[in-house]
């Protein structure tokens, strides 16, 4: 890179936040290596206890990944072949894949333009005699409106499982989002807000018996539920991941404060019409900004401008899942207009604990100016 080229601002920086923990990780790794307890030892047990307490649930079970967590949680919730699970099309593939792996049918309803989460007012119209569960996904760390989702589920005798892969620390109405539903699933993929250095996941359970069933399944022991015999499998979280995640957990609040500050900086440049609208005016709601998104009609031009300035951006979920190759196994309920629009318009900006605030000001100013010019040219 020539000295005149601007320094690139990446979407993630996985290494810098590890540096303050490096010595502790290396020391604990050596102890682990020499202990011989590589699978389901003290680190996993303690991580499960600590995160269950953080999340306000009685039990949590470490599993191999966020995808695996979804699969076992849906199994334990009794999802059977032919059942329907209502979810959002504006999410990562894994949400849909876990349902399809159980030979069940993902049913997509549209999202809300303000927070990009599934629209609870559309749930009842999507329910059929085959509906077994609702699977909300607090996307990018913004809480879904859980109360109306839980109310519809209760009225129709449905299970609710929350895919909170992107939402560690997110609060809904003052409580951790992972404590609202029967089970909630988390990913420790390295780009997530609470990361490992490989794959890992967890299921948070309001009912300790669900946790027991998941412990059996993750360790090759069969389980009988609702008269059906389910096979066990290997879905274990390993000790190295649990050790690193425990160390990163200690720093989570500080890192979140940095993400919050960056989001505040972006918010100061970007009008509310073009970004996440603070849910419920902020009362009891905590957004953790796994991604910070901006909405823009001419997304390609904004992306190009930022790229020329050395700033990496992300595009999600384009096209949304109802256009995926696997959509042949899915059903849609009603038009998915907002999911389509989000897939066309949403651009994510760098946000992570190692991003200098000066960079956030520069990025926010560039985006703000672009949106102003765009608004002026459409009104002219």
Ligand X SMILES: Cc1ncc(COP(=O)(O)O)c(C=O)c1O
Contact set with ligand X (CB under 6 A): 65-67, 91-92, 94-95, 137, 163, 165-166, 187, 189, 199, 201
Nearer Cβ to ligand X (74/94): 94
Residue closer to ligand X, measured from CB, 184 or 269? 184
Instruction: For the CB of residue 97, give the shortest distance to ligand X in the complex, in Å.
Output: 9
DSSP 302-351: HHHHHHHTTB--B--SSS-GGGSGGGGG-EE-S--HHHHHHHHHEEEE--
Q: Distance of CA 340 to CAs 111, 123, 344, 351, Å?
A: 9, 18, 6, 24
Query: By C-beta, is 180 or 302 nearer to ligand X?
Result: 180
Q: Which residue is nearest to ligand X (CB)?
A: 66
Considering the complex, what minimum distance in angstroms separates the CB of residue 2 from ligand X?
36
Any residues with CB less than 8 A from the CB of 193 and at least 6 apart, and which? 141, 166, 168, 169, 252, 255, 256, 259, 288, 290
Instruction: Output the smallest distance, CB 248 to ligand X, in A.
Output: 15
Q: Cβ of residue 64: shortest distance to ligand X, in angstroms?
A: 8
Q: Which is nearer to ligand X, 67 or 313 (CB)?
A: 67
Least Å from the CB of residue 166 to ligand X? 5
Q: Given the complex with ligand X, which of 67 and 288 has the nearer CB atom?
A: 67
Helix (H, G, I), strand (E, B) or coil at 226: coil
**Gap between the Cα atoms of 139 and 115, Å rounded:** 8
Taking alpha carbons only, the member of 161, 35, 17, 11 closest to residue 88 is 161
Alpha carbons within 13 angstroms on the beta-carbon side of residue 113 total 11
């Amino acid at each position: 890179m020539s000295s005149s080229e601007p320094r690139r601002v990446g979407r993630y920086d996985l290494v810098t936040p590890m540096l303050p923990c490096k010595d502790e990780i290396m020391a604990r790794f050596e102890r682990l290596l020499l202990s011989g307890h590589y699978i389901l030892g003290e680190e996993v047990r303690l991580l499960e206890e600590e995160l269950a307490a953080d999340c306000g649930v009685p039990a949590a079970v470490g599993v191999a990944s966020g995808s695996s967590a979804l699969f076992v949680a849906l199994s334990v919730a009794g999802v059977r072949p032919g059942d329907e699970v209502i979810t959002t099309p504006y999410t990562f593939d894994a949400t849909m894949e876990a349902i399809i792996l159980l030979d069940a049918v993902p049913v997509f309803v549209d999202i809300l333009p303000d927070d990009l989460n599934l629209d609870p007012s559309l749930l009842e119209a999507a329910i059929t005699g085959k509906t077994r569960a609702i699977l909300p996904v607090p996307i990018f760390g913004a809480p879904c409106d859980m109360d109306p989702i839980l109310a519809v589920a209760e009225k129709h005798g449905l299970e609710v499982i929350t895919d909170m892969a992107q939402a560690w620390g997110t609060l809904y109405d003052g409580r951790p989002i992972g404590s609202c539903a029967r089970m909630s699933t988390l990913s420790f993929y390295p780009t997530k807000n609470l990361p490992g250095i490989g794959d890992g996941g967890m299921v948070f359970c309001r009912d300790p018996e669900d946790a027991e069933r998941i412990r059996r399944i993750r360790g090759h022991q069969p389980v009988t539920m609702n008269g059906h015999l389910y096979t066990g499998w290997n879905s274990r979280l390993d000790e190295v991941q649990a050790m690193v995640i425990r160390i990163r957990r200690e720093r989570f609040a500080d890192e979140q404060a940095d993400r919050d500050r960056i989001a505040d900086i972006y918010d100061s440049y970007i009008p509310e019409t073009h970004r996440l609208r603070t849910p419920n005016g902020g009362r009891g709601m905590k957004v953790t900004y796994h991604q910070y998104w901006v909405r823009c009609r001419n997304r390609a031009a904004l992306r190009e401008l930022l790229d020329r300035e050395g700033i990496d951006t992300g595009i999600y979920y384009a096209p949304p899942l109802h256009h995926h190759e696997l959509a042949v196994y899915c059903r849609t309920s009603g038009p998915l207009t907002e999911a389509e629009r989000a897939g066309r318009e949403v651009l994510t900006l760098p946000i992570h604990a190692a991003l200098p605030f000066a960079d956030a000001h520069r990025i926010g100013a560039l985006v703000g100016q672009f949106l102003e010019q765009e608004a002026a040219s459409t009104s002219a």
